[in-house]
Amino acid sequence: MTHMISVRGLHVVGRRGDGGEVPIVRDVSLEARRGEVLALVGESGSGKTTIALALMGYARAGCRISGGAIAVAGHRVDQMDAGELRSFRGRTISYVAQNAGSAFNPALTLHQQVIEPALAHWVLPRRDAERRAIELFRAMALPHPETIGARYPHQLSGGQLQRLMAAMALITEPEVVVFDEPTTALDVTTQIEVLEAFRTVLVHRGITGIYVTHDLAVVAQVADRAVVLRHGAVCESGDTPEVLARPRTPYTRELVAACHLPVRPKGLDPAVDAASGTAPEPVLTLSDIVVGYGRVDANGLPAHRILDGIDLSVTRGRTLGIIGESGCGKSTLARASAGLQPPAAGTVRFRGETLAGRVARRTPEQRRRVQIVAQNADLVLNPAWTVGAILERVLRFFHNLRGAVARAEALRLLDIVQLPHAVFDRRPPELSGGQKQRVNFARALAARPELVLCDEITAALDPVVAAAILTLMSDLQETLGLSCIFITHDLHALRAVCDRVAVLLGGHVVEQCDAAALMRGAHHPYTRLLVSSVPEMRPGWLDEVVAQRSAAAAPFVPTAVGEGCPFVSRCVTRIAGVCERVRPPVVATADGGRIACHLPPGDLPVLAPGNSTIDA
Amino acid sequence: MPASLQDMSLSRRAALGFGLGGAGILAAGPRAGAQTPDTPRRGGHLRLAGFAGSTADTLDPARMSAVNDFVRGKSFYDGLVALDDTMAPRPGLAERLDTDDFRTWHITLRRDVCFHDGAPLTASDVVYSLNRHKDPAIASHQRIVAMEMRDIRATGPLTVEIGLVGPNVDFPAILGMDNFAIIRDGTKDFSTANGTGPFICTGFQPGIRTTGRRNPEYWGQPAWLETIDLIAISDDMARHDALLSGDVDIIASANPRLVRLLRARRFGIMESPVGTYTDLAIRLDQSPGHSADFVMGMKYLFNREQVRDSVFLGFARIANDHPIPPEDPYFAADLPQRVYDPDRARFHLKRAGLGSGELALFCSPAALASVDIAVLLQYAAQRAAGLDLGIRRMPVDGYWSQYWMRTPMSFGNTNARPSVDMTFALSFFSRATMNESRWRNPRFDALLLQARGERDDAVRRRIYHDMQAMVRDGSGVCIPAFTTSLDAFDPKVRGLRPNRAGQLMGYGFTRWVWLDGGGVSP
Amino acid sequence: MGMSLAGAARRGAAFAARLAPGPRRALALLAFWFVIAIVGPLLAPHAPGEIVDRDVFAGFSARHWLGTDYLGRDLGSRLLWAVRYTVLICTLSTLLSCGFGIMLGIAATAMSVWVERVLGRLMDGLLSIPSLLFALLVIAAAGESVPALILTMGVIYMPGSYRTSRALALRIAQADYVMAALARGEGRIFVILREILPNMTGPLLSDIGLRFVYAVLLLSNLSFLGLGVQPPLVDLGSLVRENVLGMVYGAPAVVVPTIVLALLTVGLNFALDRQRP
Amino acid sequence: MGRLILNRLAASAFSLAFVVVTIFAITAALPGDVADTLLGQSATREATAALRHAMGLDQPAWVRFGRWVWGMLHADPGRSLMTGRPVAELVGPRLYNSLLLAAATAAVSVPVSLVLGLACTMARGTLFDRVVTLLMLGTVSVPVFLIATVAVFVFAVQFHVAPALADINAVHSPLQFIRVFLMPVVALAGATTAQMSRMIRACLIDVFSAPWIEMAVLKGVAPVRIVLFHALPNAIGSVVNAIALSLSSLLGGVVVVETVFNYPGMAGLMVDSVAARDVPVVQCCALIFCVAYLSLTTLADIVAAASTMRGRAH
């Protein structure tokens, strides 16, 4: 018995609405040795999670394991009955779910849930289980390991929950742990901590891991071997460095390529504009925008602010990128610009014209000029309408086009976004994610806008598709001369399409700079953290980053963030007594950037090109 | 010529002998009919399920209107006059009833009668009991009748004198009406009954139940039963279920459709040939009733056999469009029976010259079987004369006050009256408030007053005969049938006899029945 | 004309094809009952008020397939009429309650918080009056007629429909495509009719179907209080009720209408219920 | 939490105010009045007018409304026009009876439907689930009056296993209580249980689609524990709501059951009083029904809120 996990000829089928069955996983064979981490890599729909669950003898509602031999730690999973499965799951093999926020029962304390496997399998008496849980919490570098278990899931952050879930998976000391995209829902800065915690326990305890992910950079950090899946079948497998460095199949090559997005070709900077004699003309200008909720104070400002004192402008024909972690106010910024969420203070100007805060008060012409392309194409396109109807409605609304003219124009728009005409009569649910996002784009273009607000348009897409969308966007902007605001949490995407970048944190812009300057020169400490946290597809990268960070001064006791810098609680270079009290001044940098930090410009962290291979 | 109650009742009895013996309608259930007249036994507990019970249940004699009210009344109270099986007046609390001119009546009360609370019966009780009917706030059902009694006064501790507005030979019958039962002077609270009757009220919950026990001090023939328990079950099936399962001993208003089942299970059925009728009242003072042809046409549209057989399953007697039932001694047997005649109906309706369009026909479960009769009539009208009748079935509540007599064509339901005089006076006299069809015939009115003062029975018979003919042909009231009331009982209930005054022995069965094997022999 | 009819049929079929199997089956069932409601009475051998036999509660026979009722009328003929009236009344009252309920429910999502709250409270109040007693009171006040019945039942089931559609609409109103339409500057009516409503059809049809079933049951329970269609016509519940005494003889007059009533409600209920896992 | 309860209570109070006005408006719109009823066929115009005056029915509606609301605020529902007795005296015993019947029904239907709902959830898609579903749907699809009538005929008349009447005075021991209440409760609980178990099943299935249920399965937790420990605490809010809704819809059946079993309860009293136009009694009964419904749903809402807010208060 050399293999801890051995799967031979696995087939999983799903039931269709009409009662027939469709294959989801076809003839998959794989194995993993004891103590090894095996990555299952693939896009959505590749069957990677289905295979991982099949290892636990589990198939989701509507699915069925229809064939194959599954052996885990010497057990034939495919031959177990319900009782055997119950004592096998959680004991021999355990599971870390993708979204810990929803995989924890909201009504129970974390402690109850974490020790439950140990109690359910009679592994440990309650008291010992609690003790071991605390040990694991500590090993996972969770704050307050003694008391954190008494809390409820909604009281903790995503990264903490993800680590708690790993603790729960490990409490029975299983032989195998299945990680199902455990860091996908996390911000890059958090991802590093979680990845490190996982890796440490796996290595120390000699546990065999199955790591399900779509992110090759993560694979590079955690997995010994990788299996690339496509359409439910194995595409390629081998040792991780091998697969990443020398992909053998076209599909894997495509995947790898999607991780190396080309940087926006023309590094435009204001100096060039100045040289060409055209003054940079701002299209959209946001001044001192405040958006929030809750009680309104004497100045008419809300108590809880999502955006606070935002000053930004978009230059004509250029793309402004906005980057930040979840909850920093990125999307609110787009919605405030579009008038969907009226600001409590500040003004939105479009080519000098002040726009009303509320969309209903804007003129049709003003509404036409600013179009929004939102993140989730599933929610953005009305599923009851055909694509043609969606486009024609906009054409009719803004341009009063009807009948054959409108149809011709709609078809032309489909051409522009590179969709076949057959899409015209389909409805959104019949389209793929990439197609939907293209339709979403076409709809915005139908208004013939001057500014397009793109809110996380690639977040829900697989890397290959996302890359294509980004290329399309760049091309369109070029050919149509559009101005854009591109909101994202993905540094790769940002650099692929943007001319200028604003870094958003806690509702404040902490830094603005040219996209080209993002990887070099002095930056805000947060920007540095952000940039250095983006995983690289280079084995060993994680070790370097971790080594670097632990070398730096141990971070901070968090204090209440008042008027001070939003980054103060995580900043390793903070100036005690100042940063948490005083709002940082905005300092202009040599290459046209603006940084809000108390540090003297000379002390700002510098990103050296060698520090990062992101340009490579 | 002075007259007294004793004489009268004798003479009436003689006259009524024919009605009782000849009709042969006093059939009882198989067991009841077969049983030999055995000796009554004392004791036992009898449970009755009446038909309708609600919070409108009352112990106030003036307000009694439902079967259970009357059963309660008959159990707890007495009237001055009692009506026997043939509705002939017999002495009740009044020992004597004397008059010289049928206008002023002298009442002599029985001695040694006590109310349930122990107080002796005196003239003031009688004066109070009768006078209160005239007060509108009392809401007496007999206010109109009571208005006939112009003055009521005590002439001694046990004597009362009543002066009527005009002579009335049938006045004793009026005093025999259950609503004129005698209560204690000054009674205002009717949460219990303080009467002189054979049972003492031991519990009264309106709409739920009434209980009573035998009055050991009763002045007359004491009751056989020890205790009685009266409830009401308005749902037909539930009421029969209660009898079939043995939860009650006797039920009022058995449904003709369940008689087959009851008989098969050896339960007794008592058929009471009461003079109750369901009629269609066509108002003569409005379109379409102001056309005599229309009214006549409608009368020919009633298929009386069908009403009897399909609606009442035979438990009815065919009527001749006048309110006097065949058992009544004054029934005009020689008047030709009106029959279903589509040709004549068509002829008359055509002559009435109605335009097209639907005529509304108001009916309600409040008026017994009126909905079914309306259905029959509607089909006949459509088939025979192409006349469109639109049935308007109205809820029980509000029917009498909102639709009956207020619409051109509505169904009504009239209970048997104690005398022919009252039957005509209350429902056909021009100024009667219940003159359903607004029929005005001065000759009829004159005849009514004449008969009322007429002592010669032969003359009265002739007058009543003419009046029946006049109603039959002139009034807008169509009477297809008289109903036969059905009561069903467990065979152990003995002593039941049909009574013309109403079902359940004119509601007074608790006074007479006994339980076989239920108690001890006296 | 023919063209447009064919077009409508095609569109209808296409619409049905897009629905979930539950509402689709329910629609098919409803269509079946509609056919019976329309065609049935034309095939009735006797008038609903005609007495055809002196025998009441007669059993199955060649002359009267389903026997006779409590008056000796042809039960089969009455049954066909009863189906028509039950289907008619319940359909109209359901359309009424759901029409208003859905409109208000969706509109509530677009109205100010206070209007919406007040509306919600009013609906709650309406819901708190027991339906049977409410019907009794209203029909006592307004008189017994088919329009009154329809109106009353419409009012009774409106709050439920309001609640369901409001919950659905609230979820949809937060969808980005509604935002997109608002950002475009579309009017409220357009947003309600074109953006929100089409996306509620599936669950709404289920809800409407269930409400139809409730209406059938309420109507039959109303017959217990003696309320219903004017004689000689009849609805299914009243048909059962008026013949309930026949139960003791096992008469078809009570058995057959009960089965038809159960088929109508159970069938629809089951069709709609199956879609939920 | 306290704020939430206050808010919910205020909302219910608003609903109640609306109900009060509605009830009064409908009862005021009833054709005819108690004077007509009292006099019945012998009503003449002057007699009814006199009676109406004596009863104060000739006052304008707003005066009567004001007097009624004033009375209700002092817990005095007035006097029955029909019997002249205080409404409280009339309603009191009936309210007790109704509560008894409702409690007995709830005591049967709530546990049964909880068990059925849970069982169906755990066995969803199986034959058992389908059979129960069909049975439950069948139960709600037959009018209550028919179920009750057939039940009485079969069990009381044919087999003599239970009385045909629910005679509450005959109850002197727990055994008699069961004997008397068995059939009314079964007739009432049938439809209620059916409805409730379907709703509970729907709530639970909703919860069962949550990822943390899958997580529990993958932890190797036993199905019974999953249902009781994981699913139920999260479904409790909606389950309680479902129970409240079903119990309140029980009132429709109550009218029927009270009539068929001749059980002296509130619904029958109200129907009678509508017929008699005894407006104070109608208003009092209607108000009690509405208050019962509103307090039930309010309570359910508060329980639901409390259960979802567990832990969130801190």
In DSSP terms, which residues pair with B97 in a beta bridge? B107
Q: What angle do CA B186, B192, B195 make, to 5 degrees?
A: 60
pLDDT in tens, A196-247: 888 888 888 888 999 999 888 888 888 999 999 998 899 999 999 888 888 9
Mean pLDDT of A153-171: 87
**Residue D129, min C-alpha distance to chain A (Å):** 17
User: Using the beta-carbon criterion (under 8 Å), do D214 and A60 form an inter-chain contact?
Assistant: yes
Any residues with CB less than 8 A from the CB of D212 and at least 6 apart, and which?
A102, A103, A104, A105, A106, D230
- The upper half-sphere exposure of residue A19, i.e. CA atoms within 13 Å in the direction of its Cβ, equals 1
Residue B36 binned pLDDT confidence (cut-offs 50, 70, 90)? very low
Mean pLDDT of A302-326: 87
Residue B401 binned pLDDT confidence (cut-offs 50, 70, 90)? confident
Q: When comparing pLDDT for B25 and B254, which is higher?
A: B254
Lowest mean pLDDT among A97-101, A359-363, B13-17, C217-221: B13-17
User: Using the beta-carbon criterion (under 8 Å), do C71 and B375 form an inter-chain contact?
Assistant: yes
Q: What residues in C contact D14, CB-CB < 8 Å?
A: 118, 121, 125
Mean pLDDT of A484-497: 87
User: Using the beta-carbon criterion (under 8 Å), do D36 and B398 form an inter-chain contact?
Assistant: yes
Cα gap B73→B58, rounded to integer Å: 9
pLDDT in tens, D20-53: 888 888 888 877 777 776 766 666 667 777 777 7
- pLDDT attached to residue C65: 86
* CATH code that applies to domain A270-512: 3.40.50.300
User: Using the beta-carbon criterion (under 8 Å), do D262 and B245 form an inter-chain contact?
Assistant: no
For a pLDDT cut of 90, what percent of chain B falls above it? 63
pLDDT in tens, A324-341: 888 788 888 988 888 888
Q: When comparing pLDDT for B350 and C188, which is higher?
A: B350
When the pLDDT of each residue in chain A is averaged and rounded to a whole number, the result is 84
Lowest mean pLDDT among A34-38, A104-108, C7-11, C248-252: C7-11
- pLDDT attached to residue C106: 84
Mean pLDDT of B37-63: 85
Phi-psi region of B510 (alpha: psi -120 to 50; beta: other; left: phi over 0): alpha
Whether omega before B288 lies within 30 degrees of 0, making that bond cis, reads yes
Phi-psi region of B296 (alpha: psi -120 to 50; beta: other; left: phi over 0): alpha
Kind and range of the H or E element at A33? Answer: strand A21-33
The answer, yes or no, to whether ipTM is higher than 0.90 is: no
pLDDT in tens, D73-103: 777 777 887 777 788 888 888 889 888 888 8
- pLDDT attached to residue A142: 83
pLDDT in tens, D95-139: 898 888 888 998 999 999 989 988 888 887 788 888 888 888 888
Residue B482 binned pLDDT confidence (cut-offs 50, 70, 90)? very high
Lowest mean pLDDT among B117-121, C46-50, D270-274: D270-274
pLDDT in tens, A338-371: 888 888 888 999 988 898 888 888 888 888 999 8
- pLDDT attached to residue C4: 60
Asked whether B92 and B78 are in contact (CB, 8 A), the reply is: yes
- pLDDT attached to residue D211: 87
Q: What residues in C contact D137, CB-CB < 8 Å?
A: 265-266, 269-270, 273
Q: Which residues does chain C have with pLDDT short of 70?
A: 1-9, 12-20, 22, 273-277
- In this predicted structure, the answer to whether residue B18 has a pLDDT above a threshold of 50 is no
Among all chains, which residue has been given the structure tokens 């357009």?
A: C190
- In this predicted structure, the answer to whether residue A561 has a pLDDT above a threshold of 60 is no
- pLDDT attached to residue A272: 47
- pLDDT attached to residue C17: 67
Which range in A100-104, A401-405, D26-30 is most confidently predicted, on average pLDDT? A401-405
- In this predicted structure, the answer to whether residue B74 has a pLDDT above a threshold of 70 is yes
Touching check for D313 and chain A: CB below 8 Å? no
pLDDT in tens, D204-247: 888 888 888 889 989 888 888 888 888 888 888 788 888 887 77
- pLDDT attached to residue B32: 37
Asked whether A238 and A32 are in contact (CB, 8 A), the reply is: no
Where do runs of H (alpha helix) occur along D77-231? 87-122, 127-141, 144-151, 174-208, 211-218, 223-225
User: Using the beta-carbon criterion (under 8 Å), do B374 and C231 form an inter-chain contact?
Assistant: yes
- pLDDT attached to residue D1: 65
- pLDDT attached to residue B54: 74
pLDDT in tens, B430-454: 988 889 999 999 999 999 999 998 8
Strands of the sheet containing A586-588, edge to edge, are A370-373, A451-455, A483-488, A319-323, A500-505, A508-514, A594-596, A586-588
Q: What is the DSSP letter of D81?
A: T
Which range in B52-56, B124-128, C27-31, D202-206 is most confidently predicted, on average pLDDT? B124-128
pLDDT in tens, B166-223: 999 889 999 999 999 999 999 998 989 999 999 999 999 888 889 999 999 999 889 9
Q: Which chains touch B (3 or more CB pairs under 8 A)?
A: C, D
Mutate to test the interface with B, among C74, C144, C230 (most CBs of B within 10 A): C230
Structural domains of chain C, with CATH: 82-267 (1.10.3720.10)
Q: What residues in C contact A348, CB-CB < 8 Å?
A: none
Asked whether D200 and D237 are in contact (CB, 8 A), the reply is: no
Cα gap A492→D9, rounded to integer Å: 54
User: Using the beta-carbon criterion (under 8 Å), do B238 and D83 form an inter-chain contact?
Assistant: no
Q: What residues in B contact D47, CB-CB < 8 Å?
A: 136, 139, 143
pLDDT in tens, C174-211: 788 888 888 888 888 888 888 888 888 878 887 888 88
Residue B16 binned pLDDT confidence (cut-offs 50, 70, 90)? very low
pTM to 2 decimal places: 0.79
Structural domains of chain D, with CATH: 87-313 (1.10.3720.10)
Extents of the domains making up chain A: 34-51+81-258, 270-512, 528-607
Cα gap A25→A9, rounded to integer Å: 10
* CATH code that applies to domain A34-51+81-258: 3.40.50.300
User: Using the beta-carbon criterion (under 8 Å), do D218 and A105 form an inter-chain contact?
Assistant: no
When the pLDDT of each residue in chain D is averaged and rounded to a whole number, the result is 82
Cα gap A481→A316, rounded to integer Å: 8
Interface residues from chain B to C (CB-CB < 8 Å) = 236-237, 255, 257-258, 260-261, 306, 309-311, 313, 365, 371-372, 374-376, 378-379, 382, 390-398
